[in-house]
């Protein structure tokens, strides 16, 4: 395929240039854009040159990143030649308009929005689960899944590989950072007695049992993201139900997962299968434990009381890291290092 041949040429080209890459961050002044920079720096991703893009109102501002001062650029009427990797987190409309332009200019785009996740010709990647699928398309856009999808299903890696999963039930507990800086600001304002402007309720004093637009089915678009993305990643028509809830915490998402399999799996075996690089067992997984960490923490593993052959667990992860920025950077690392999980 075209993408694979382009990728090989790309890797050969940079094997003669000390393995350094030209990287662009789109949405660099936002919550996830800043996390992209943080994670790239922490993991010492080999960057030759970096460019940062944001909205027109941020144009001309400066950011300190990668040991240099970077000036924020606007996407409008700009030139994207020479960029190897473009990490996008600026919303689906920006991605739909500009990701194909970066792609046309030769960049590999890793997009954190929902714009391309369910497109049949664009891979949707969690490296631990389906990293090999980055080579499956002739497109050079790769989609990053929804943060709750990543946290919910990554622990199923070895279950998925060794057993047939028949049904999944997700119940999420999603912090306000899932809404970006506007969600965090609303929480901080309402905690101090001021009125919020983003959420329809005082988020400091309640949970909100809907995230996103309510569809004709009664499910929200956030819930259907989890359903459709899980099916695509696991390449299965698994029966799935999801309920997504906003909770009054600043960061991290939790999710209860009820799993039905084709065979009975002992709880101790489930525990063994759920501990691997990137996933840690925890006696009581909680938001404080996961905040700022790269791992997903899993606990409360027990036999299902709903399914005869099934089990339940609770998973917690930092939605801004493994749920977004880290997963995107791991995709880039997978491409340049031929990483195996």
Helix (H), strand (E) at residue 34 = helix 31-42
The count of C-alpha atoms lying within 13 angstroms of the C-alpha of 307, restricted to the half-sphere facing its C-beta, is 21
192 flagged as catalytic: no
Per DSSP (E only), the strands in the chain are 21-26, 47-54, 62-65, 68-74, 85-88, 108-111, 141-143, 165-174, 239-246, 253-261, 279-281, 296-303, 310-317
Coil, helix or strand at residue 169 = strand
User: Is residue 244 among the annotated active site residues?
Assistant: no
CA atoms of 110 and 118, how far apart (whole Å): 14
Q: Which two tokens stand for residue 153?
A: 């299903």
The residue annotated as part of the active site, out of 118, 147, 244, 252, is: 147
- Active-site option among 118, 119, 252, 253: 253
For residue 299, the tally of other CB atoms under 10 A from its CB is 19
Residue numbers annotated as active site: 147, 253
């Amino acid at each position: 395929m075209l993408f694979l041949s382009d990728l090989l040429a790309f890797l050969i080209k940079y094997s003669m240039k000390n393995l350094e890459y030209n990287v662009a961050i789109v949405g660099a002044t936002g919550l996830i854009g800043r996390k992209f920079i943080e994670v790239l720096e922490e993991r010492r991703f080999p960057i030759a040159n970096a460019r940062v893009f944001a909205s027109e109102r941020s144009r001309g501002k400066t950011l300190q990143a990668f040991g240099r001062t970077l000036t924020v650029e606007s996407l409008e009427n700009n030139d994207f030649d020479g960029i190897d990797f473009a990490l996008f987190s600026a919303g689906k409309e920006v991605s739909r308009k500009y990701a194909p332009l970066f792609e046309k200019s030769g960049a590999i785009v890793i997009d954190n929005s929902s714009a391309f996740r369910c497109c049949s010709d664009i891979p949707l990647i969690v490296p631990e689960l389906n990293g090999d699928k980055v080579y499956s398309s002739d497109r050079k856009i790769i989609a990053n899944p929804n943060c709750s999808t990543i946290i919910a299903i990554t622990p199923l890696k070895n279950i998925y590989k060794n057993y047939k999963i028949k049904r999944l039930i997700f119940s999420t507990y999603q912090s306000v950072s899932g809404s970006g800086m506007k969600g965090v600001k609303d929480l901080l304002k309402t905690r101090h007695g001021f009125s919020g402007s983003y959420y329809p309720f005082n988020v400091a004093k309640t949970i909100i049992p809907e995230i996103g637009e309510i569809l004709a089915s009664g499910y929200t678009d956030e819930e259907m993201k989890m359903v459709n993305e899980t099916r695509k990643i696991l390449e299965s028509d698994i029966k799935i139900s999801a309920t997504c809830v906003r909770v009054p915490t600043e960061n991290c998402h939790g999710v209860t997962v009820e799993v039905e399999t084709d065979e009975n799996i002992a709880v101790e075996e489930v525990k063994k299968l759920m501990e691997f690089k990137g996933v840690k067992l925890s006696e009581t997984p909680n938001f404080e434990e996961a905040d700022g960490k790269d791992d997903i923490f899993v606990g409360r593993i027990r036999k299902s009381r709903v399914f005869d052959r099934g089990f339940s667990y609770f998973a917690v992860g930092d939605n801004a890291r493994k749920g977004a920025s880290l997963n995107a950077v791991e995709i880039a690392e997978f491409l340049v290092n031929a990483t195996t999980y």
